[in-house]
Amino acid sequence: MPLLKGIITITVLLRVVWTFNWVETIFAMTGGGPGNATLTLPIYIFNQFFRFSDIGYSSALAVLLFGILLVFAVIYLRLTKLDESEVR
């Protein structure tokens, strides 16, 4: 199990980022839901860009989303103390 620590750490990190940006299923099923009940930040960004053509605002939100995920990734990797030698 210790040899799998690096792979598990990277896999969990990528899975969290992938899940956070999950748009297609929610959008296809509810489109943000009745009364915005299932509206997430990626769907909100999508709506601002494609429905309302607010390119500047949606771009700023996308950069904010990137910042949130970057902070999460840095904190997660520091908490797991992943070394470069463990990834290979």
Q: Could you write out the DSSP letters of every residue in 51-62? A: IS--HHHHHHHH
Q: What is the mean pLDDT of the chain?
A: 87
Give a yes or no: residue 75 inside a domain: yes
The stretch 30-37 carries a mean pLDDT of 82
Q: Which residues contact 12 (CB under 8 A, 6 or more apart)?
A: 76
- For residue 73, give its domain range: 23-82
What total of structural domains would you count in the chain?
Answer: 1
The residue behind tokens 């949606």 is 58
Q: How much is the pTM?
A: 0.77
**Two structure tokens written together for 5:** 């620590």
Give a yes or no: residue 7 inside a domain: no
In the predicted structure, residue 30 carries a pLDDT above the cut 90:
no
Give percent of the chain with pLDDT exceeding 70. Answer: 92
Instruction: Report the 10 Å Cβ neighbour count for 33.
Output: 13
Q: What is the pLDDT of residue 13?
A: 92
Give a yes or no: residue 69 inside a domain: yes
Q: What is the pLDDT of residue 86?
A: 58
Give a yes or no: residue 11 inside a domain: no
Instruction: Report the 10 Å Cβ neighbour count for 45.
Output: 21
The stretch 15-23 carries a mean pLDDT of 87
Give a yes or no: residue 3 inside a domain: no
Give a yes or no: residue 35 inside a domain: yes
